[in-house]
Each structure stands twice: as structure tokens, then as C-alpha cells.
Structure 1
Amino acid sequence: MDLKDQLKNLFPDHEVPNEEDSVKDSERALWIQEAPIVCKYEKRKGKPVTILDGYTGDKEDFRELAKGLKTHLGVGGSAKNDTILIQGDYRKEIMEYLKDLGFRVKRVGG
């Protein structure tokens, strides 16, 4: 008797949702905006930081975009006050990632 059968015995009224019908969070489309996202580089306390500013979509999409960027790059960062901070100079990689998602990106500074 496997785990699914045991759970069926414990909860006979529970219906298992079809996997095809459920949409994964990563497959959910982000809101694409008209104005470009500004990608700039700064040094804060002597450390390089890439800053993304200008996203005007939903807060949930904003958090999802920040998490996707950090996961894709394998680095740390934060997302607050409509600004995404990524630790390190990843302007090129971030711009390619955002263009693949369908965003317009504008590079500011060097």
C-alpha cells in the first residue's frame, strides 16, 4: 500500500486536483509594462550593487520578478519601495533575463 492509498483511506472525501488544470507560479505570466525598467549600477559601502527601478505592476508580480532574478543569478538582494537591489554587477545578465521575459530595459550609467 503506497502513500496515496493510505491518504485515500484517511480522507475518503478528498478529491485530488488534476495536475494539468493547476497553473504553477513560475508559469504564471507577469504583467508587462509600457515604460522600460531602469537598470543601473552603483557602489554602496564599497560593494557593487545593480539597481532595477521603474516597475509599475502588481506587488505580487514585483516580488515574483525579484525572486526569479535572484534565483536565476544565484545571488542575494532585496525588493522594497518599488526597487530591486541585486548584489554585484549583473547588468548584462539581468537585461538579457528581463528581455527574455518580454520587458523593455534601459541601461543607465557606464
Structure 2
Amino acid sequence: MSKKNRSGIIYSTNPEFEFNDSDDEAETLAPQHQDLRIWLERKGGGKVSTVIKGFVGKNSDLEVLGKLLKNLCGSGGTVKDHEVQIQGDHRDKVITWLISKNYKAKKAGG
């Protein structure tokens, strides 16, 4: 069963109601217009991960960016929920690379 967000609509008494399943993704912004935040999240077992949030654009473009960043860090990770998660603390390396590619990026969180 699909777990798509249907904006709280459960049932409609209108016989002509049709739910619009619009998966319109936002157009990917140019790197200089992206405002990315780099977080360090602590997971269970003392593990940490670098999380890049704030990307505006298509999921496919975020997947490409995530793959480039994982290759840069030589580490595993994933792209989900509109953010890139990389295993380990690679904030400085990620920020340096993103700035060299004209992205606006800075550290966030405690």
C-alpha cells in the first residue's frame, strides 16, 4: 500500500471528487542559489553522520549530488527525505567542496 501524503483527505462525500496525485518536483536551482546547511547527527552506538539539508530541486539531481559527495568522502551514505546522509564526520571536507562548486553552504546545529 502506498504511503503518500494525501493532505489529510481520508474520505469525500462528493461523488465527483478526484484526488490529484501531483508529484511535481521543484525545478532545481542553480548552485549559487542553493542554501545548504551541513549538520552532524549522532546515531545509536556512538556513530555520527554528516547530513546536508536545504537542497531545492529534483530528486534525481539530489541523488547525483549525494553520489558525488559520498565518493569525495570515501564513505557510505544515503539520500532520503530531501537530504544527503554520509557516514562519519566529513563536514569540513563537504563544505570546502560545495563552496568550490559555487554552492552556498555552512555548518548548522550545535
TM interval, shorter chain, is 0.5 to 0.7
Kept in 2, the 8 Å contact 1:31–1:58? The answer is: no
Gaps of 5+ in 2: 1-28
Q: Partners in 2 of 1:71 and 1:91 — Cα distance? A: 14
Bigger radius of gyration among the two: 1
Kept in 2, the 8 Å contact 1:36–1:54? The answer is: yes
Q: Which has the higher helix share?
A: 1
Change (3 A) 1:33 1:82: farther
Residue 78 of structure 1 corresponds to 78
Gaps of 5+ in 1: 1-29
TM-score, normalising length: structure 1? 0.68
Residue 43 of structure 1 corresponds to 42
Measured on the aligned residues, the alpha-carbon RMSD in Å equals: 1.6
Q: Secondary structure at the match of 2:39?
A: strand
Q: Partners in 2 of 1:58 and 1:93 — Cα distance? A: 24
Runs of 4+ with deviation above 3 angstroms: none
The one-letter code sitting in structure 2 at the alignment partner of 1:74 is G
Q: Partners in 1 of 2:38 and 2:94 — Cα distance? A: 8
Q: Secondary structure at the match of 1:84?
A: strand
- Please state how far the C-alpha of 1:33 moved relative to its aligned partner: 5.3
Residue 100 of structure 1 corresponds to 100
The number of aligned residues is 81
Kept in 2, the 8 Å contact 1:49–1:89? The answer is: yes
1:6-49 Cα offsets, whole Å, 9 max, x none, are xxxxxxxxxxxxxxxxxxxxxxxx84252410101111012011
Q: Partners in 1 of 2:82 and 2:105 — Cα distance? A: 15
Q: Partners in 1 of 2:61 and 2:82 — Cα distance? A: 11
The one-letter code sitting in structure 1 at the alignment partner of 2:93 is E
Q: Partners in 2 of 1:60 and 1:32 — Cα distance? A: 15
Residue 33 of structure 2 corresponds to 34
